[in-house]
Structure 1
Amino acid sequence: MDLTRDSLAVAPDLLGMRLRVGPVTLRITEVEAYQGTADPAAHAYRGWRPHTRHLFEAPGTLYCYRSYGIHICGNVVCGPHGSGTAVLLRAGEVVEGLDVARARRGNAPDVRLARGPGCLGQALALTLADSGRRLGEPDLELLPRLGPVGEIATGPRVGVSVAARRPWRFWLASDPTVSSYRASPRLMRPEVVAGENGPET
């Protein structure tokens, strides 16, 4: 896959592909595109910072961050080197290593093992130390689709309070592993809706 392309082109093409991290492989079913320094909702919006440095590395780099102080979320860096663009991995179906993923997720139902970016990170045992790793390294592979993916749906990104109406979330329509849409509660604040003037962190 050509990860040097824009994140809006890469994101839907990741659907149906398989990501292997150690003993667990999942089929990607939901993603979100982030447009780097041009996107107020992106971690890269304010430019290079120590904790976002991996976003500005070569396409195919993994960028991991901690969400709400608990969950580790994974992104695939894409676009031109240094652009800060990436695709957030939001959900997937575990297709290999089910027993390992079940144990990591407290024996959650299989359909929910990697539903949502925090659950996906837990199922794959991602840590902040994985940030900066490159696809193609040992135990970190992006594998081809095994068949057609069917209909791809698109809509607003989940939980962001700026640039919230951009339809940059992509998912496999009717797939049970896809997460539910939730708007950010901050969207109820008029200044946030009108301004869209600060990045998500």
Structure 2
Amino acid sequence: MIQYTYVAVRNESFEPDLRNEGTYLCKMPAPPPPPPGAKNWYSHLKPHERLYYHQTMNSVRCSKRYRGNPNVPRDSLDLQLQSRYDHSREAFPEKVDSVLQRETCKAVTSWSAPAAEKEIGAKIKVFRVLRNTRTVRRKQEDALGHPLRIGGCKEKVHPHSVKLICSGVHNQLVNNGFSRQTSDGNFFRY
């Protein structure tokens, strides 16, 4: 069975992939197609044209052509309200706890959290895009490195075919003529 893994790779496009975070109301301006043989989308553009067509994550989020998820923080108050800090759990929090977000924090457990699996880095799927990456599906390599592949017949052979029998002297695939053996020169049929 072929298994796939999802890998985040760098987005080389002129537009970030923010479909998980919101919706595009209309398309962003696209650059003209590159001539044949060009490596990148921007290799044939002048610097001011490249700057115009290249969208950053922040420029797309602030654009009128894009409507973001309402859970994305828009100002500093929203950022602090969605932080990992919980006043009822921690007695003496640090100042930085009021701005740490659940998506960016690498801590898995907290000594003051009663349900550590629901705490910060408990492998929750986040909708916010933190880096300009896109997700690509790749075939997962075999961990054992064994060449055996299970499943799928390359050809369907009839069960009464003479090619399925074991080779020997007295089978249907013999040559009707006589030949000499290479070792001692005797006649034999094969």
- Shorter-chain TM-score bucket reads under 0.3
Indicate the structure with greater strand content. Answer: 1
Structure with the higher fraction of residues in helix conformation = 1
TM-score (norm 1): 0.18
- Higher gyration radius (CA): 2
Scaled by the length of structure 2, the TM-score of the pair is 0.19
